[in-house]
């Protein structure tokens, strides 16, 4: 589950995000380079919201090995701190 309190600073505003626990595995950026970009350290972030590509976003979210991809509109994808 992604942590909305640790959003990567380069995410575009909006519900979709990557948090700073990304391990630079390149899975999401390979799944959809239109949605996900890489910073200078190869950490991923959401570069563009593409509602027309939501299936690809979901695929990346479910494929991330460290669950660093989140959707603020999908509580199941989020790490909630008690």
Whole-angstrom distance, CA of residue 81 vs CA of residue 40: 30
Distances (CA, A) of 77 to 39, 45, 69, 81: 23, 16, 8, 13
* Residue closer to ligand SF4, measured from CB, 20 or 82: 20
CB of 71 to ligand SF4, least distance (A): 13
Burial label for 27, CB within 10 Å (0-12, 13-18, 19+), is middle
CB of 68 to ligand SF4, least distance (A): 4
Check residue 44 for interaction with ligand SF4 (CB under 6 A). Answer: yes
Residue from 16, 22, 32, 57 that binds ligand SF4 (CB under 6 A)?
22
Binding footprint of ligand SF4 on the chain (CB under 6 A)? 18, 22-29, 44, 64-66, 68-69
């Amino acid at each position: 589950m992604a942590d909305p309190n640790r959003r990567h600073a380069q995410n575009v505003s909006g519900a979709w995000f990557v948090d700073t626990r990304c391990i630079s595995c390149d899975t999401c950026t390979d799944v959809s380079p239109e949605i996900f970009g890489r910073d200078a350290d190869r950490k991923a972030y959401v570069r563009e919201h593409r509602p027309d590509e939501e299936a690809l976003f979901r695929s990346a979210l479910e494929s991330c090995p460290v669950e660093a991809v989140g959707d603020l509109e999908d509580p199941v994808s989020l790490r909630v701190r008690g």
